[in-house]
Structure 1
Amino acid sequence: MASTRRIVTLFTKAGQCSLCDDAKEALQRVQKRVVFQVKEVDILQNPSWKRLYQYDIPVIHVDDKLVQKHRVDEEKLYKILTN
């Protein structure tokens, strides 16, 4: 049975978010433990995402489902990705 690679989407504001930089580093650490694809979305490029998340970035979705915002809880994310 082939496994499906999970997609983790990081909603960020390019170049203007130190918490987003921390989130990227956290995602890299989690990627050393479990395989997933990272998709980065700059909320400034999409008015809908900006309206929704401008006060909450970084925001993490796993397979299009909101799972975390503000800070990445690495253990929680690992558990989500491995279940």
Structure 2
Amino acid sequence: MIIDEERTVLVDDLSGLRWRKSSRSSMQGNCVEVAFIGSAVAARDSKAPEGGKLVVRQAAWASFLHALRNGRFDGCGAVGDA
């Protein structure tokens, strides 16, 4: 894993990670799963675990969660909303 000064995270292999999802998630598979990699966090869609993954620094992930919990994204609409 490489993390440079410009917040770029490069990871060669994500196959051995332990992915987790929220205990509040439904059993329908509409979840975001996360895995921790040193000083970074990887996220993926539980419906498509072999698909794309997002990897960010832990500080960026913490900032995202803080904004989410404080309603920063309320009213933004979900992906696919018309």
Same fold (TM over 0.5): no
TM-score for both structures, normalised by structure 1: 0.28
Q: Which structure shows the bigger proportion of residues in helix conformation?
A: 1
